[in-house]
Structure 1
Amino acid sequence: TTTQPFIDSLFGAPSVGGDVGVKNYEIQMGDREYVAGGYYVPNAPGTPEIRYPTYQNFNNETRAVNFIHCLLLAYIGPNQYGFDAFNEGIVRAVTMRIARLTQVQTALGLDPELVEQVLVNVYDVEGHYDWYNQRALGGAKFIAPNLRDVPIPDAGSLGGLFWVRYKMAGSAWAKALVEVPGEQFLKTFNEGFYAQPGIANNVPALVALGQSTLNTLRPGDPSIEGLSFAEWFKRQYILETKNTFGPKLLVEPVPVTSSLGGSDFGVFFLQANWFDTATNGDETLLSGTSYPIYWQGNFTFNRDFPTTPDAEKIDIAGGYGSVVPNLSKISGEEPYRASVDVPVQDQIERVYLPVGSIATPSLPTPRDLYGTVVGASTQAGDVLRLTVTVNSSAIPDVPVTNNAFGVLLGTGSFLGNARLTVNVVRNRLGSDTTLLTRRVNKGPGPLALDLRVESEQSFSPAGGLPKGMALIGFPVNPLASVNSDVLGIADNQVLAARFNSSKAKYDLYPELESFKIGHGYFVRLNVAQPGFSVVGRSYKNIEAGVALKPGWNLVCAPLVEVVPTSRIRVVKAADFPQPWSSAIGIDVGTDFFEFTPGPIDPASGAPETGTLTPATDFVPGKAYFVRVLAPEGVTLSFQAASQTGLGPTRSVSGPSLTGWRMSVTMTYGAKQKAAAILGQSTTATRSFDPREDSGMPPGIGGFQVIVEDYEAMYRDVRPLGGGEVFTLHLQGLTPNKVHRLDFKSLFGKVPSLSLRDSKGKSLGTIKPGTAFQYLAKSRNEYIQVVVGGSK
């Protein structure tokens, strides 16, 4: 009875009347549902039932908050929303609001501080929504089916991402609650749902209901945080209701603001959650190692190495790992933006942290409005600042220093539920330009902002997407998480794959991960899409990283511009970054490869295969095979053209060429061409030498010349001083047709050459600079190139 008036006001009346049982599940309930606050079973035997643990070892505040949560679930009644993002999110938003009401706390004898502790644990993200809004959150259920009854480890792991999902869902819908004066949005939304319960599993209909609710409550401005409900909804990853698959990574930074002293300046508790989602929704909590990369600077990135013990590595076990770096000063007490890349195998997440902007030993009182600016185009002499209104009232301008800011407001208006309008303003030679305007809704407490200028764009690859087989990459991070939505086709028409070097095979859709920035995919379409475009978040005026694991990786530049290798740095583990030219043959392969679709297949009317050839630049929208030689994996850091220059690097010179090199190029018709390189060198060895040799990526079949040796080779360089026999595997031939083999000297003096077929029959001698006409008998054949009279 104490909470009923507030529930009715904020959440609405129950969808149906009747009795609801309450059953003690203290013993039977799994750990994760126990932590989450219990649950409601509308179809329990006899009568609908709240299954609620009594929390025998916890305080009254825990019991009260979690019971309000269960009671609200029961209010929804027999026809629950079909997804946790709606059911749990809406309920948790209202639970937070009611539990914080002074009237409720007084009537129930609750301690406000203890109530806040309960909410912070599993209901609220404490103003860090911007930081945690990452793709890994999405899915139909917050607790994976296979983990529901599995105990949470006593130490070293949180047992999965369910904690963050519950908190982010409540915080997302709390934004909607704050948006409309009178806090009537969720009540009206629920009432609209009760009137048409058949839309429980129909996300487009639920999104339409969200918009109609805004239209009803505020017809003059039917938006949420400045966007239509549909546009807002697709930008909240926690509200993605479809399961996506493959490995996922989420990074949670938490500022450390107490007990600071000495050299402490930017201390953060950095948590990594790493897991894999199967097609049935089950989650595997993974183990591994991450070497976080702490970048200082705006245009020029310099890697920072925190002095905190063990800050260079995150050991992940049971899906969870953490580290507490102290990011160092760069110019006295000036704050700055740090860009932190957390790579694990071929997954990477970046968070931007306002170092020195929240609390330091010299300014120990934590600021309550802090964050970073990313993507602003600035030059020497420019000054950035924020203009901010809180509930339509302006506050003093917020200075931005080195793309970071932090101020202490301390007002009741700001520290409660509030609607903010934030402008990023650049002053250049006395003239102001507004670079970004964002509307942000917040709950009680401080607020962290990740302000990204021109952070979204629509990318259209040159020529669109062709019919048949293509190798594509995404220089933007698509807003849509489901691959069929990105491609704009039905789910059962998606044919996509990505090579997985850990399994030495391709991951195929639907097991394939969500399309993401920096990754490449083979895609086959039945119908060309010349006007294809994808809307996504992009990196603007900043360096961007792509994580690669050992072996072959399909990589795309994470920037919407052509990136030469001179603007790529290679970062391995906790090492100093190296330029690409110094890392080849040591940490990455000597060559990287692009894909050219082959001829039209007469049966399908589209290319079904293609040729892999060495590339020189990374072109936006195209993907490339890059080989990683370092057993720890590497991160490729791509520098934007707008940046002024690379930070410090250490160069390592490669070996100078000795001996000779020769290319063998096979052509058929006017369009099909493939090549390999043969050679001998005084520095070569009998085994695979990454400084001399280059393997051939695991293609999908097509017109190709491969040197068969220790593995399939593109470049095979052997010791100088003796005869050699190179076996060429010619693939994708057209039987009974003549193909041309051109032999061209690239370096040094090539010894005498002769050719043999696979049975050892002589095909004659050949000189560099001449061609050999070869009549193919089958699709795949072998020719031996005999060097120096070898037998």
Structure 2
Amino acid sequence: MRRTRIRTTPPNPWKQNWRRRLRRSKRPPEKQTSRGRSRVRSHAVTSALIIAFLPIPGIAQSAPQRAGRMLSNTPFEARAQGLLGAVEVEAPQQRGQADIDIAVQEALRKIHPPSALQRRQRLEEFLRKAKRLKPGQKIRYDRRIVLTDNGRPILPVRDSHSARNARFGNGTITYQFSGFSTADEAAYRGFITAITPHLDAIYGKPSSNITVTIRFDTNADTIDGGFYNVTTKSIHFYPFGELTGDTYTLTHLILHAYHDELQFSFDGWEEGFTRAAATLAFLRYDPSIDLLDTDGFYHLPLYDGWNQPALGNSSFFSPSNIEVSGMPYWRLGMAQAAWLKVTAENPDFFRGFNEAYYAQFTPGLEGNTPALKQIAQGLAPNVEGLGFSDWYRRQYILDTSNSPGTKLYVATIAQPISVVLVIEHYTTTPDGDETPLNGMADLVYRNDESPDLFAEEGNEAEIENGEGFIAPQFFNIGGANLIFVDVAAGGLQTTVLFPYNVAHESVLGDPDNIFGGVTGSASGSLDVAHAVRSVPATAQTTRSVFAYAPDIAMNALQRLEFTYNASDTGQSVTVSRNTGWGYYQLLLHSPVTITSLSHLYQKGSTGYQMVALPGRPLLGDEASVFGVPANRFLMAKWRPDMAGENKYELYPNIITPLGPGVGSWVKLENDVNVSVQAEPISTDEDFRIHLPSGFNQIGAPVDATFDIANLFVQVPGGAIQSFGAAQAAGLVSGGVFGFVQSEGYRLTTSLSGWNGYWMRVTSVNGIDLIFPTQGMVVSSKVSGFGFQVSGIQGSRDGTRSAGSPKRRSGSLIPHPSSLILPGTVGLDQKQMRRNDWSFRISASTSVAKDLDNYLGVTPLATDGLDNVHDIVQPPEFGPYVSLYFPSRSAQGDMPLAVDLRAPFTGKKQWDFEVTTNLGDTEVTLTWDDLRKAPRPMRFRLADVDAQSVLDMQKVGFCRFRTGNNSTRRFQIAVFGGPRPLAKISRVDVRRIPGRLLLTFKSSGPVDVDAEIYNARGQRLRRLKAKQISAAGDYAMQWDLRDARGQRAAGGVYVVRLTAVDEAKRTHRVVRMFHLERTL
């Protein structure tokens, strides 16, 4: 029977730490109320978060390089060559073993400095209190080492096999020992003899015939584990006296020797494979072993909550191999858990995989993720009810690509009435290196009864050296229920779940318990189907949580099927989970409602469409949603936080699935009628979607039309503001593009259901885009499912009126009068008087068009890149022709579709380029009718590459062929309102040796020439025109000779200076002077 606990203040091992943090912050505790705390702050980030999250000084230091290199960075299909996860040590073997040992030890000190060990000890202390480590147990980070000679990895076995054209596989390892006592050597030999049959049965025979030396090495305590040197075939091992942990570490290192020089490039594969296989072999060797006694990396019971995007990276220790945060702890265990789930589908998976891998091996296969996935898929076609590829892309630990930016990872460990939160916060570079951040995390706790629960431990967690810890506990909240924990740090926010009061001590200590939570439903029943049971067992769910004790032992890998039947919504959902030893925390989502979605997408001339679904399809695979075979389905989605210029994810490796607010590209071979069952969004509240900095593909979350001006924006930790205000603040670009196959990208002022759009976010930390869906009425259209909007109102100041969503008028275009939409002329006398005008120029071919490109001026714009007034052109996809104005600034090179500048007088020019991927093709440029432009405005178009010029007011188009060059350069010169007539004054003539000096002052830019006349009015000489770019004093010289070169005689002369400005207006000044005859 479950015990009811009366409200007291029990000892809390984390409470003292919180009090220390509170004293350091010098912030008094807030007043307490019966429910929650008094809200001195709103849900926005508190003043503590104003503190900048800065990199930790001293972390960036020289370190061993990677023993491999990245070849491509495609999410879930990255490619690499060499032993990317190994530590590379420059130590040629001819230097001798002593020198090699010194070089290796120096490398280990660099990659695991004392500061890293101190951070690890903080994590160990917290994990012990959370019962994820046992008293005195340490986190063991064993590593892999490869020696190099002038940067080239020394791999003698591969070199030998290549020279002999030998094949890998079916090898044998011979062991020898160094530095151990006779008794210890005998004990370890006995252990290896006993476990080797299990290793061979699970992992297959080693890749080669090698001799491995196991060395007793006290230096291995640098990493509290050991390492395997691939080059020297040696295991460096320092036992700590924990029998289970020591022998498990040795087993794991031996499995690296099984792969030896054929180790996978990526840690997600090599570490995941070896740790999972070591676990299986260890349990066959001794089924009574507690997995927490091995190395503390058994994460399978908490996999659902810990599977988060921040896990992904090319290396678990980052490319520089420096241990800078606690992320290796989560990554190593999650990789093990992921491959254990695969092995649950096929107990012979590892053996079969390695045999196929050795048989197919050629250099490069070790890092060829697509090829490795093909081998895996042949052995485990389905995992947890999904096709292997579909399952694989949902396991973030197996994403071996690098995604730069700031990261936030929050691990939860449920206790009876408290939840342990470990917060990892760091930045990632494009090559995968990571730097921890300092700062403060802000937390909000909420459940079905309160948006702000009280916890004595407070609502802030200090993040030091990239890690923060807090363990809030809750009382008097009505029994077991599901608590949502919102964590915000450094401009990022994530939400994690805590099934409260169901993870009792008896549950955590009993290996046969399943507990967890359900989102989307408060009450229902959970049927648990076991492979060995003919009748499913049922657990009841109350307030979104459940606890279930099955009547069979959960002491092996097994496949379970969970069917949740919601009594409050009437919906049902079935999920599969592969579980292992001990309890399992299950987190699942139950649709609130399910409806039918139907829409016809037409192939058109090219098949390319930008799409979005106004609901979350129950079918997880995109090809199934579109009813297209997976091998013939092309889908792409732009991921702005991806490294490199090409940021497109391709099916089936798209992280963000189809759903409300999400846009994607598809290429159709035929017309497709999408008809699926889907979960619509809830209209109990406004819909929001987070958009990272950069271009995002978005869509309307419902089958309705939204004016972009009526959307709202919120930066992490900031206030909600209208789209127009966010645009004016430089948080988001005003230009939103839709796609019409026959017209290309088009600027739009609204978003409609089923269509995809481009939106550019300029806020560094991204934004939440908010659609005012609260209060929308769901109805059925004659043509199919859809939402109708009714009764939406708002107030001018952007505040919410009772019963209505937040709405405010805003501006999509850069300035209400500056951007004239297609089909109109953007120039007239009235606009010119306001210095506010624009016109459109378009490019088209027989296949593709780019219609919406604008240039002009507006009073608040600048001549440089202006995020408020300029609009950047979105990335291209499929066959295209693109016209853009190149902008080069500190933000990088930007192709502009709209280039608005400051008003001017005189002349201003716009450079633009036209590019296409259609090869040699004819391109036509057209522009708005400029004949109505007020005088004296003039427009000249120069083809820079063809060196030709035309008058845009006399001609309305031009054509050219791209030829072999896909990019053509042009320039538009606009002569605006005339400046005041530039005048010549202060003309002076004086004699200098051998010459006559003419000096004058000009009031503005002009071309000046000088003519010399004699007393009879005959012109003797015309001096070369002088181009003057600005007002100032200038001079010209006459060499006292006429046009024929004869020297002028003495007498009276006249000089006439003529100034001509850009509007061809002239100003003349005449001066008489006397020239004395000199010999």
Task: Work out whether the TM-score is over 0.5.
Answer: yes
CA distance in structure 1 between the partners assigned to 2:681 and 2:239 by the alignment = 51
CA distance in structure 1 between the partners assigned to 2:936 and 2:546 by the alignment = 72
Query: Residue 22 and residue 736 in structure 1: after superposition, are their counterparts in 2 closer, same or farther (change >3 A)?
Result: closer
CA distance in structure 1 between the partners assigned to 2:854 and 2:737 by the alignment = 13
CA-CA distance at 1:353 after TM superposition: 0.9
* Residue of structure 2 in register with 1:574 after alignment: 717
CA-CA distance at 1:441 after TM superposition: 1.6
The one-letter amino acid of 1:389's match is A
Query: Residue 789 and residue 450 in structure 1: after superposition, are their counterparts in 2 closer, same or farther (change >3 A)?
Result: farther
Query: Residue 224 and residue 292 in structure 1: after superposition, are their counterparts in 2 closer, same or farther (change >3 A)?
Result: same
Secondary structure at the aligned position of 1:238 is classed as helix
The one-letter amino acid of 1:594's match is F
CA-CA distance at 1:424 after TM superposition: 1.6
Equivalent of residue 696 in structure 1, options 871, 881, 886: 871
8 A Cα contact 2:700 2:752, kept in partner: no
Equivalence map 1:286-685=2 (5 Å): 287=437, 311=459, 320-322=466-468, 324=470, 326=472, 332-333=478-479, 335-336=481-482, 338=484, 340=486, 350-356=494-500, 358=502, 369-374=514-519, 383-393=523-533, 397-401=538-542, 404-407=544-547, 409=549, 413-414=553-554, 417-427=557-567, 435-452=572-589, 462=601, 507-509=644-646, 516-517=655-656, 541=681, 543=687, 545-549=689-693, 553-557=695-699, 564=706, 565=708, 569-578=712-721, 580=723, 583=726, 585-586=728-729, 588-589=731-732, 591-594=734-737, 613-617=747-751, 622-628=756-762, 633-637=766-770, 650=799, 661=817, 663=820, 664=826, 665-666=839-840, 672-674=851-853
CA distance in structure 1 between the partners assigned to 2:548 and 2:191 by the alignment = 36
8 A Cα contact 2:696 2:760, kept in partner: yes
The one-letter amino acid of 1:39's match is Y
Query: Residue 175 and residue 667 in structure 1: after superposition, are their counterparts in 2 closer, same or farther (change >3 A)?
Result: closer
Write out per-residue CA displacement over residues 490-546 of structure 1, whole angstroms, 9 at most, x where no aligned residue: 9xx999988789xxxx94138999865499999999x99778999xxx996365532
Query: Residue 196 and residue 637 in structure 1: after superposition, are their counterparts in 2 closer, same or farther (change >3 A)?
Result: same
Mapped pair 1:131 → 2:322: no
Paired-residue identity, %:
14
Query: Residue 735 and residue 397 in structure 1: after superposition, are their counterparts in 2 closer, same or farther (change >3 A)?
Result: closer
Equivalent of residue 411 in structure 2, options 235, 240, 253: 253
8 A Cα contact 1:89 1:172, kept in partner: yes
The one-letter amino acid of 1:666's match is R
The one-letter amino acid of 2:415's match is T
CA distance in structure 2 between the partners assigned to 1:561 and 1:341 by the alignment = 32
8 A Cα contact 1:471 1:521, kept in partner: no
Equivalence map 1:180-199=2 (5 Å): 185-187=349-351, 189-190=353-354
The one-letter amino acid of 1:275's match is T
Secondary structure at the aligned position of 1:131 is classed as helix
* Residue of structure 2 in register with 1:757 after alignment: 938
CA-CA distance at 1:88 after TM superposition: 2.9
Q: Which has the larger radius of gyration?
A: 2
CA-CA distance at 1:145 after TM superposition: 4.3
The one-letter amino acid of 1:443's match is G
Equivalence map 1:707-718=2 (5 Å): none
* Residue of structure 1 in register with 2:421 after alignment: 268
Secondary structure at the aligned position of 2:728 is classed as coil
CA distance in structure 1 between the partners assigned to 2:926 and 2:335 by the alignment = 64
The one-letter amino acid of 1:624's match is W
- TM-score with structure 2 setting the length: 0.49
Query: Residue 93 and residue 654 in structure 1: after superposition, are their counterparts in 2 closer, same or farther (change >3 A)?
Result: closer
* Residue of structure 2 in register with 1:119 after alignment: 295
Query: Residue 209 and residue 454 in structure 1: after superposition, are their counterparts in 2 closer, same or farther (change >3 A)?
Result: farther
* Residue of structure 2 in register with 1:53 after alignment: 237
CA-CA distance at 1:356 after TM superposition: 2.6
8 A Cα contact 2:414 2:499, kept in partner: no
Secondary structure at the aligned position of 1:421 is classed as strand
Write out per-residue CA displacement over residues 406-465 of structure 1, whole angstroms, 9 at most, x where no aligned residue: 315386714765432200213369xx65x3222212122332223245899999995579
CA-CA distance at 1:94 after TM superposition: 3.3
CA-CA distance at 1:405 after TM superposition: 1.6
* Residue of structure 1 in register with 2:1069 after alignment: none
8 A Cα contact 1:137 1:165, kept in partner: yes
CA distance in structure 2 between the partners assigned to 1:82 and 1:688 by the alignment = 45
CA distance in structure 2 between the partners assigned to 1:524 and 1:391 by the alignment = 40
* Residue of structure 1 in register with 2:116 after alignment: none
CA-CA distance at 1:396 after TM superposition: 5.3
The one-letter amino acid of 2:227's match is G
Query: Residue 83 and residue 694 in structure 1: after superposition, are their counterparts in 2 closer, same or farther (change >3 A)?
Result: closer
CA-CA distance at 1:116 after TM superposition: 1.3
Equivalent of residue 89 in structure 1, options 254, 268, 272: 272
Equivalent of residue 38 in structure 1, options 219, 227, 232: 227
* Residue of structure 1 in register with 2:252 after alignment: 69
CA distance in structure 1 between the partners assigned to 2:578 and 2:588 by the alignment = 14
Q: After alignment, is 512-521 or 185-194 more displaced?
A: 512-521
The one-letter amino acid of 1:409's match is A
Q: After alignment, is 303-312 or 406-415 more displaced?
A: 303-312
Q: Which has the higher contact order (CA 8 A, sep 6+)?
A: 1
The one-letter amino acid of 1:168's match is M
Equivalent of residue 23 in structure 1, options 215, 229, 250: 215
CA distance in structure 2 between the partners assigned to 1:52 and 1:511 by the alignment = 43
Query: Residue 696 and residue 184 in structure 1: after superposition, are their counterparts in 2 closer, same or farther (change >3 A)?
Result: closer
CA distance in structure 2 between the partners assigned to 1:714 and 1:103 by the alignment = 69
Unmatched tracts of structure 1, length 5 or more: 106-111, 215-221, 481-485, 600-606, 745-751, 760-770
Secondary structure at the aligned position of 1:163 is classed as helix
Tell me how many residue pairs correspond in the alignment: 679
* Residue of structure 1 in register with 2:197 after alignment: 8
8 A Cα contact 1:84 1:141, kept in partner: yes
Query: Residue 285 and residue 372 in structure 1: after superposition, are their counterparts in 2 closer, same or farther (change >3 A)?
Result: same
Equivalent of residue 283 in structure 1, options 428, 433, 445: 433
The one-letter amino acid of 1:51's match is I
* Residue of structure 1 in register with 2:397 after alignment: 238
CA-CA distance at 1:22 after TM superposition: 0.9
Write out per-residue CA displacement over residues 262-286 of structure 1, whole angstroms, 9 at most, x where no aligned residue: xx6x6633434542342xxx53436
8 A Cα contact 1:384 1:426, kept in partner: yes
Secondary structure at the aligned position of 2:295 is classed as helix
8 A Cα contact 1:595 1:624, kept in partner: yes
Query: Residue 757 and residue 275 in structure 1: after superposition, are their counterparts in 2 closer, same or farther (change >3 A)?
Result: same
Query: Residue 417 and residue 511 in structure 1: after superposition, are their counterparts in 2 closer, same or farther (change >3 A)?
Result: closer
Unmatched tracts of structure 2, length 5 or more: 1-189, 623-627, 778-788, 801-805, 821-825, 827-838, 876-880, 915-921, 941-951, 959-968, 983-1079
Query: Residue 617 and residue 60 in structure 1: after superposition, are their counterparts in 2 closer, same or farther (change >3 A)?
Result: same
Query: Residue 209 and residue 420 in structure 1: after superposition, are their counterparts in 2 closer, same or farther (change >3 A)?
Result: same
Write out per-residue CA displacement over residues 239-259 of structure 1, whole angstroms, 9 at most, x where no aligned residue: 45x54554474624222527x
CA RMSD of aligned residues (A): 6.5
Write out per-residue CA displacement over residues 656-698 of structure 1, whole angstroms, 9 at most, x where no aligned residue: 99x9946424366997354578777xxx89999999x633236
Secondary structure at the aligned position of 2:928 is classed as strand
CA distance in structure 1 between the partners assigned to 2:756 and 2:476 by the alignment = 37
